[in-house]
Amino acid sequence: MNIAVLVKQVPSTDNVKIDENTGTMIRSELESEMNPLDMYAVEEAVRIKERSSNTKITVISMGPLSAEYAIKEAISMGCDEGVLLTDRKYAGADTLATAYTLTQFLKGKELDLIFAGERATDGETGQVGPMVATLLEIPVLTYVNKIIEITKDDITVQRAIEGGNEIIRTTLPVLITVVKEINEPRLPNLENKLRAKKSKIDIITNEDLKVEEDKIGLKGSPTRVVKVFYPKISRQGEKIAVKTPQEAVAKINDFIKEKGVIS
Amino acid sequence: MKQEHTGVWTISEIEDGTINPVSYELLAWGKGLAETLKVELTSIVLTNKIKDIESLIHYGADKVYYVENEKLEHFYPDTYTKILHQLVEEMKPEIILASATTKGRTLMPCLAARLRTGLTADCTDFEIEEETRSLIQIRPAIGGNVMAKIKTMTRPQMATVRPKSKQPLPKDETRRGEIIKKEFNEEMYQSRYEWINYKKDESIDQPIQQADVIIAGGKGLRRQENFKYLKEIAERLNGAVGATRAVVDMGWIDYSHQIGLSGKTVSPKLYIAVGISGAVQHIAGMSTSKYIISINKDPEAPIFKVSDLGIVGDATEIVPLLAKEIKQGDKK
Ligand SMILES: Cc1cc2nc3c(=O)[nH]c(=O)nc-3n(C[C@H](O)[C@H](O)[C@H](O)COP(=O)(O)OP(=O)(O)OC[C@H]3O[C@@H](n4cnc5c(N)ncnc54)[C@H](O)[C@@H]3O)c2cc1C
Ligand SMILES: Nc1ncnc2c1ncn2[C@@H]1O[C@H](COP(=O)(O)O)[C@@H](O)[C@H]1O
């Protein structure tokens, strides 16, 4: 089986602190990692490889050169090889331009399964997966929390949707976005860590890929961020040290009554 | 900009014939935008059977287009995308809104990719830019720490809207509008998907993103058993139970209850945070709640910074009593 996993490099959110005055995140410089939700996609691909012979997993990312690090993280978990689509012209891409660029690489690759994360922890859109599937004209299964069966022609999965789980089947090839509860990502073993370190990531620029310039990067992006502002995260709340549980309950009931929150 | 595209659309969500209330919330957003733009508000319905379709008019739509076919019983992204694509090409709306539910967040990117137009996810507010009639889409970014205003250069302008970010308009049964059936040939309904079954999660009464009240617990609850009090409180308030990643990781409650950066994003009317420190990743998922009450024994806990009412006290002593004595407000 031929599997691709789409991973995104995101700013690391470990130990982020909030600047008290501006309400922004203070990030230590250039700390980035694989999108935490993509680890579940990588893990699921590796599990499939472990149960079926002749399976190859390619990790694909579009991003700056530093995204090699995220790709190597995926290889250290058991993926075979990595591809990085990188070009200054790709910078500033929104979800459609990103999906379009990824698609130009993916099309014609004879893939059976493409995995993506539910969403990236920076953009938080979850749009790239379904967009890639649509542009490739293959089915998409979103919010998958269990793969039930894969046959030569089709796949049956369970999807976490509002209020419960849906079981649904579709044909291969397919793009699958997974949610966190699907598995428990492994820690890389020493052998794979060494292999990742030594592995050569395939670097692809737009000289190779030749995507139309009006479809990539900022220029190819239909959406624009026109302004960023800081929400008032602090509320002018009242803080009360209660002496008894009764006092706490009374305060809460008064608050609910006064604001008419539940009626 | 030439006005080739005109009108505001909302995509209604129907489950087995019943209109999901998020559809009425969308109409409230759509109405405001349509009035500013002086255009019609249209709601689109794809369903296998339909009850109470007039209610969409009563909640603000000027027009409803509906497609009714037994093959639309389950949400198949390919079929839904094909049909909507066709409707959009035919009628060319300038704005399309859908709810940021699992359905909306799957369908809208598929449709946007088909139409090669921009899509903004999980918006919590909208404005119209006067000079250009453009839709300004406002959404939290970087884990809710900043808000971004986003504009779409192409048409239609598409967005998914966070449930509970607006109240439906009051129902007006005297409102009149047009309800129009759309038909397609059988080919349009063919799908590569095959639905097998649906298992309701019996531990939840309603999708957490659609609850008016959420009571969420963190490690400060001390013991898994204490979640039972949160469940009782949620029941009394007709709400849902949320949790931090810390307690989900410990296995105290299922991941489907996790609120935050790697869980769900919610905007209820009331969020009660119990024994939650208020890490940025948690706040990212709940800071847009209308009111926030928190209970924590550490007076310096960051959760208090985002709270309207902060109770400094021991949660393990407070929740059992709260479960018995919390009041529904003035219901009826
Ligand atoms: C990439 C990434 C993604 C993440 N995503 C999420 C996410 O989606 N959701 C999420 O919640 N977290 C997320 N986290 C984890 C987050 O950083 C915190 O670790 C987590 O939210 C803490 O949970 P907590 O508040 O339950 O626990 P703690 O931080 O341990 O806080 C417990 C609180 O309870 C109080 N307390 C203790 N005893 C009592 C008592 N008897 N009565 C009252 N109060 C008491 C303490 O004072 C403390 O403030 C993420 C982290 C990372 C790195
Ligand atoms: N630049 C990218 N390169 C590779 N994969 C990506 C990229 N951006 C997004 N993805 C994939 O799409 C998923 C959803 O991302 P997003 O739509 O940005 O929330 C991620 O979890 C990745 O699997």
Q: Are B245 and B281 in contact (CB under 8 A)?
A: yes
The CATH number of domain B208-331 is 3.40.309.10: no
Nearest ligand to the CA atom of B122: 2
| Residue whose structure tokens are 């694989």 | A34
Alpha-carbon distance of B170 to B78, in angstroms, equals 35
Q: Write down the pLDDT at residue A124.
A: 80
Domain ranges of chain A: 2-215
Q: Write down the pLDDT at residue B165.
A: 86
Alpha-carbon distance of B6 to B194, in angstroms, equals 36
Residues with C-beta less than 6 Å from any ligand 2 atom: A 6-8, 35, 37-38, 41, 60-63, 95, 98, 102, 116-117, 119-120, 123-129
- Low-confidence residues of chain B, pLDDT below 50? 1, 330-332
Q: Are B306 and B292 in contact (CB under 8 A)?
A: yes
CA B274 to centroid of ligand 2, rounded, Å: 33
- The tokens for B104 are 């909306």
- What class, spelled out in words, does domain A2-215 have in CATH? alpha beta
The answer, as to whether pTM is greater than 0.90, is: no
Instruction: Give the minimum alpha-carbon distance from A196 to chain B in angstroms, rounded to a whole number.
Output: 26
Which of A 217-236 lie inside 8 A of B, CB atoms? 221-231, 233-236
Q: Does B71 touch chain A (CB under 8 A)?
A: no
Q: Write down the pLDDT at residue B331.
A: 43
A196-205 confidence digits (pLDDT tens): 999 999 999 9
Partnered with residue B141 across adjacent β-strands are B146
Alpha-carbon distance of B6 to B123, in angstroms, equals 21
Identify the residue with better confidence: B50 or A16.
Answer: B50
* Fold equal for B8-189 and B208-331: yes
Helix (H) or strand (E) holding A193: helix A190-198
User: Average pLDDT, whole number, for chain A?
Assistant: 91
Q: What is the largest CA-CA distance in chain B?
A: 65
Ligand 2 atom with least separation from CA of A85 = 3
Instruction: Give the minimum alpha-carbon distance from B52 to chain A in angstroms, rounded to a whole number.
Output: 22
Alpha-carbon distance of B316 to B332, in angstroms, equals 32
Length of chain B: 332
Q: Where do the DSSP E strands lie in chain A?
A: 2-6, 9-11, 17-18, 25-26, 32-34, 56-62, 81-85, 113-117, 140-150, 154-161, 164-171, 174-178, 202-204, 223-229, 238-241
Instruction: Name the CATH superfamily, with its identifier, for domain B8-189.
Output: HUPs (3.40.50.620)
Quick one: angle between helices A38-51 and A68-76, nearest 10?
Answer: 40
Alpha-carbon distance of B312 to B296, in angstroms, equals 5
- Inform me whether the pLDDT recorded for A233 exceeds 70: no
B171 Cβ closer than 6 Å to some ligand 1 atom: no
Alpha-carbon distance of A160 to A166, in angstroms, equals 7
- The tokens for A251 are 């305060």
Q: Write down the pLDDT at residue A30.
A: 53
Protein residue with its CA nearest to atom 47 in ligand 1: B298
Q: Write down the pLDDT at residue B263.
A: 86
Partnered with residue A203 across adjacent β-strands are A84
* Distances from the Cα of A245 to the Cα of A76, B231, B301, angstroms: 51, 19, 19
Q: Does A245 touch chain B (CB under 8 A)?
A: yes
* DSSP strand pairing (B8-11 vs B134-141): unpaired
Alpha-carbon distance of A159 to A16, in angstroms, equals 32
Helix (H) or strand (E) holding B128: strand B125-129
Model confidence at A263, in pLDDT bands (50, 70, 90)?
A: low
Choice from B225, B276, B280, B317 to test ligand 1 binding pocket (greatest atom count within 8 A of CB): B276
Share of chain A above pLDDT 90, in %: 80
A164 dihedral zone (left: phi>0; alpha: psi -120 to 50; beta): left
Q: Write down the pLDDT at residue B3.
A: 64
Question: Taking residues A164-192, what's their average pLDDT?
Answer: 96
Instruction: Give the minimum alpha-carbon distance from A204 to chain B in angstroms, rounded to a whole number.
Output: 24
Alpha-carbon distance of B323 to B272, in angstroms, equals 13
Q: Write down the pLDDT at residue B269.
A: 93
* ipTM (interface predicted TM): 0.87
Alpha-carbon distance of B162 to B165, in angstroms, equals 6
CA A122 to centroid of ligand 2, rounded, Å: 10
Q: Write down the pLDDT at residue A132.
A: 98
CA B155 to centroid of ligand 1, rounded, Å: 42
- The tokens for A40 are 């579940």
Strand order in the sheet with B157-161: B119-123, B157-161, B95-99, B8-11, B41-47, B63-68, B178-181
Q: Are B114 and A133 in contact (CB under 8 A)?
A: no
Question: Taking residues A108-115, what's their average pLDDT?
Answer: 96
For the purposes of burial, counting CB atoms within 10 Å of the CB of B228, is it exposed (0-12), middle (13-18) or buried (19 or more)?
Answer: middle
Instruction: Give the minimum alpha-carbon distance from A35 to chain B in angstroms, rounded to a whole number.
Output: 10
CB contact under 8 A, B78 and A139: yes
| Residue whose structure tokens are 């996810």 | B121
Domain ranges of chain B: 8-189, 208-331
Model confidence at A23, in pLDDT bands (50, 70, 90)?
A: very low
Q: Does B199 touch chain A (CB under 8 A)?
A: yes
Q: Does B167 touch chain A (CB under 8 A)?
A: no
- The tokens for B305 are 């910074």
| Residue whose structure tokens are 């009317």 | B269
**Residue type, position B325, single letter:** E
Helix (H) or strand (E) holding A144: strand A140-150
CA B31 to centroid of ligand 2, rounded, Å: 33
Q: Does A6 touch chain B (CB under 8 A)?
A: no
